[in-house]
Amino acid sequence: MLVYDQPINQATPDDRPAPPRMSAGFSVLQLTGLLWQRKIAIAMAGLICACIAVMIGKSLSPKYSATAQLYVDPRELQLVDRELTPRSQDISGLAMVVESQARLITSNNVLLQVIKDTNLDKDPEFGGESRGIFASLLGLFGIESRSAADVNLGQMAALDALSRHINVKKPDRTFIVDIDVWSRDPAKAAMLANALSRAYLAESKKSQATAARRATTDLSGRLKELQERLRNAENALAVYKAQNNFVGTQDTLISDQQLSASNQRLAAARALTLDAQAKYDQIEASRRASTDAGAIPEALQSPTIANLRAQYAEARKRYAEMTSELGPLHPALRQIEKQVEDLRHTVNEEVERFAQSAKNDLTRARDYEASLNKALEAQKRQSVQLSQASVRLRELERDVEASRDVYQSFLKRSRETEEQESLNTSSARVIGEATVPQRRIFPPAMSLLAMIGFALGALGAAAWTVAADRLSPDTSEPQPAAAEKNSSAPPSKPLQVNQSRVQPTIAAIEKPLIARLQESDVMRTLSGILTTGGIPDLTRLGWPTLRPGFPLTTFLNSMRELRATVAKCSPAAATPVMAVIGTGADEDRSIAALNVALAAARDGAKVLMIDADHVTHAVSNKINGLGKSETSRLGWLSIGATLSRAIRTANGISILPVVKGSDATVSAAIRKAIAQARSAGGYDLVILDGPAMPWSAADRKLLDIADGLVAVLPVSLDINDCMEDIIAALGGAERKLAGVILCELQSVTVGRQRDKQYA
């Protein structure tokens, strides 16, 4: 915990404990000095090893690798309906097929074909013997001096050598196969890779033709036996049909056709009988009734009755007219009455003829139905007899059908396999022919060999130098004087602000100042109002800022004392640099830093505020892209062509946003900006917002540049724990702690949530 009654890090350099000393044998400085003394010998050893490595690389036989690419698709071409082998659609099955084809490329049949096509058995690189002049002359005349056994041994040697020169690779989840062939001659490597791909395609086609030919031979051997079996079954079926009188078409027998036709005729005869019976009953009912006899349908459809009824109606009309004009005993009236009676009798006679005709039709229909019924009974008895005999018939027919199906299947499959001998269903093809390689794969480049040789030689010489120095009796004893001299040296160099001059060591601060930043000291505004007259106003960023018009507040007085303390610790005629640090939320630290800058600007000081928090950069997020950069007055502050420039605000404060980049880049840019601000002398105070904890090595360099440190402790956290964390992280730099600000402001996050309902 921080003790306020005593100065921080007040001990003098003489009272501080000396850093632990390492033994002379393990001193890094001594080891570096020893190697530096032997630098010429180490460099010479590295150069000698580099020359030896280059000579060895020159003496090695070069190797050139050529690659041919094949596309091996296990889903072969569908040229016929049925293939010899079933197709595998499973992913794992497809991968196994492609891997099997990749192994087929390095099979003996393919390699022997390549040896035969390229005469590798005579190539000295692949085990062949170099031929003399006499053997070459004999070869021109077709005379070979080697025996068949020697030729066979030469092919086996070439086969073994060629298998070592080939590397077949299959990338994962692809159907691509890479064929790598290396040789001492680049043209030969490309030629062998292309010859290997062609030999594989030829072997694949040959294997398919061989399989189809073998299948055709096996199927053809069974055709004669199946044909004889089918012939015997058909003869037995024909004899049985003749013996049992099974005569008919291919689908049905004649007896079955006759029985079906008789059933149909009997049904039609019964329908005619019923129709005739209904017609006769209707006519008889009409005659027995008192209604008009000519009202039956047949009478209405007859033209004769229709004519008679017309005459009858005309006569009745004339009779009615004459009845009204003449007396009942008039002769003309009696004649017309007799004519009406005659027409009525004539119509009744016509109806009688219709009734007699209907009776005759009914009698004929009944007789026809009886005859058909008798014939159908006879056919049924015959059909029962044939049904008993058809059991054996169906058995013979099934035997014939089975024999015919098997024979036709074998015959069709035999023809298909015979045609497949000349078809190439493989979809494997060359998608990339091997080209003559331009670079060798072994040995590596001479420059790389030289670097490896130089590194190994230098390391070996350095190890030898260290071992010789350790084993030497002159260096076995420790050197107390040198060790004491090294231990009394200062732990670090004085703080350097400008590269051109060295500043004296900053004295430790007696007692840190404690200030309280309360809600009564600040005001809150909406963050939507950012600028005034085109220039950003820091009091309108949405953060709690100092209230205007209260110059005698406790916080302002504390800030004046804090600036005076930091100014005492700064070098003479140099702008003081103050760094605001903290362990709480980044916005709490940034708010406190902004209020420290506003307090200084309230007293008329010109302040440069630098966002040194490259992790969250809360200040830069608020003002980045707003306002105008000071290009006319702060041209010296440009960190680089691509870096941000200081932004001038309406409060007398210039803010330099954070620089994007690594920790070292940000730290270097901020240190350069501080050095330029001090050398120009245009500012009264430089305030660093951050860096955020934990600090890196680059962040500690910024803390070393600062003349004074101000710790921000939010009261929402345990301020004692926060202070202990800051002191532990500062280490030796705790002597620069000039003040502590107890931030009693409400959290900005909570305030933002409350403002949403009024925005």
Q: How far apart are CA 569 and CA 504, in angstroms?
A: 10
| Ranges 393-407, 610-624, 706-720: which has the least confidence | 610-624
What is the structure's pLDDT at 182? Answer: 92
What is the pLDDT of the chain when averaged over all its residues? 76
Close Cβ partners of 28 (under 8 Å, ≥ 6 residues apart): 22
By C-alpha distance, which of 575, 554, 579 is closest to 689?
579
Length of the chain: 759
Provide mean pLDDT across the span 487-499: 35
Domains along the chain with CATH numbers? 24-60+443-487 (no CATH), 254-420 (no CATH), 514-755 (3.40.50.300)
For the chain, give the percent of residues with pLDDT over 90: 15
Q: Is the per-residue pLDDT at 504 higher than 80?
A: no
Instruction: Return the amino acid letter for 20.
Output: P
CA angle (56 as vertex; 55, 58 as ends), nearest 5: 65
- Quick: pLDDT tens for 323-361: 777 767 777 777 777 777 777 777 777 777 777 777 788
What is the structure's pLDDT at 200? Answer: 92
Cα distances from 35 to residues 23, 29, 463, 655, in angstroms, run: 18, 10, 10, 49
* Segments of 16-71 assigned E as strands: 64-71
Provide mean pLDDT across the span 546-556: 79
Q: Is the per-residue pLDDT at 222 higher than 70?
A: yes
What is the structure's pLDDT at 676? Answer: 85
What is the structure's pLDDT at 82? Answer: 62
What is the structure's pLDDT at 499? Answer: 35
Q: How confident is the model at residue 52 (pLDDT cuts 50, 70, 90)?
A: very high
What is the structure's pLDDT at 166? Answer: 93
What is the structure's pLDDT at 91? Answer: 59
Q: How confident is the model at residue 515 (pLDDT cuts 50, 70, 90)?
A: very high
Q: At what angle do helices 697-705 and 663-680 cross, to 10 degrees?
A: 10
Among 215-224, 541-550, 593-602, 690-699, top mean pLDDT goes to 593-602
> Which has more confidence, 291 or 8?
291
What is the structure's pLDDT at 578? Answer: 93
Q: How far apart are CA 206 and CA 113, in angstroms?
A: 12
Contact yes or no for 491/19 (Cβ under 8 A): yes
Q: How confident is the model at residue 18 (pLDDT cuts 50, 70, 90)?
A: very low
- Quick: pLDDT tens for 426-462: 778 888 898 999 888 888 888 898 999 999 999 999 9
Cβ neighbour number for residue 256 with a 10 Å cutoff: 17
What is the structure's pLDDT at 217? Answer: 85
Q: Is the per-residue pLDDT at 425 higher than 80?
A: no
Q: 3-state SS string over 522-536?
A: EECCCCCCCEECCEE
- Quick: pLDDT tens for 248-265: 555 566 666 777 787 888
> Which has more confidence, 732 or 347?
732
φ/ψ of 673, rounded to 5, equals: -65, -40
Provide mean pLDDT across the span 559-588: 86
Q: Is the per-residue pLDDT at 289 higher than 90?
A: no
Close Cβ partners of 497 (under 8 Å, ≥ 6 residues apart): 503, 571, 574, 577, 674, 675, 678, 705
Q: How confident is the model at residue 56 (pLDDT cuts 50, 70, 90)?
A: very high
Among 302-306, 322-326, 687-691, top mean pLDDT goes to 687-691
Cα distances from 321 to residues 151, 309, 326, 511, 583, in angstroms, run: 141, 18, 9, 156, 138
Q: How far apart are CA 519 and CA 546, in angstroms?
A: 9
Among 54-58, 221-225, 470-474, 551-555, top mean pLDDT goes to 54-58
Provide mean pLDDT across the span 231-236: 90
What is the structure's pLDDT at 709? Answer: 93
What is the structure's pLDDT at 644? Answer: 43
Provide mean pLDDT across the span 621-627: 67
Q: How confident is the model at residue 224 (pLDDT cuts 50, 70, 90)?
A: confident
What is the structure's pLDDT at 12? Answer: 39
Q: How confident is the model at residue 474 (pLDDT cuts 50, 70, 90)?
A: very low
Provide mean pLDDT across the span 88-96: 65
Close Cβ partners of 263 (under 8 Å, ≥ 6 residues apart): 376
| Ranges 6-20, 368-382, 403-417, 679-693: which has the least confidence | 6-20
Q: Is the per-residue pLDDT at 584 higher than 90?
A: no
φ/ψ of 469, rounded to 5, equals: -70, -40
What is the structure's pLDDT at 90? Answer: 59
Q: Is the per-residue pLDDT at 472 higher than 60?
A: no
Close Cβ partners of 219 (under 8 Å, ≥ 6 residues apart): 410, 413, 414, 417
Provide mean pLDDT across the span 59-82: 78
- Eight-class DSSP state of 213: H
Residue 584 CA to chain centroid, in angstroms? 43
Q: What is the pTM of this model?
A: 0.40
Q: Is the per-residue pLDDT at 693 higher than 60?
A: yes
Q: How far apart are CA 606 and CA 226, in angstroms?
A: 114
**What helix, strand, coil percent values describe the chain, rounded to 5?**
60, 10, 30
> Which has more confidence, 77 or 691?
691
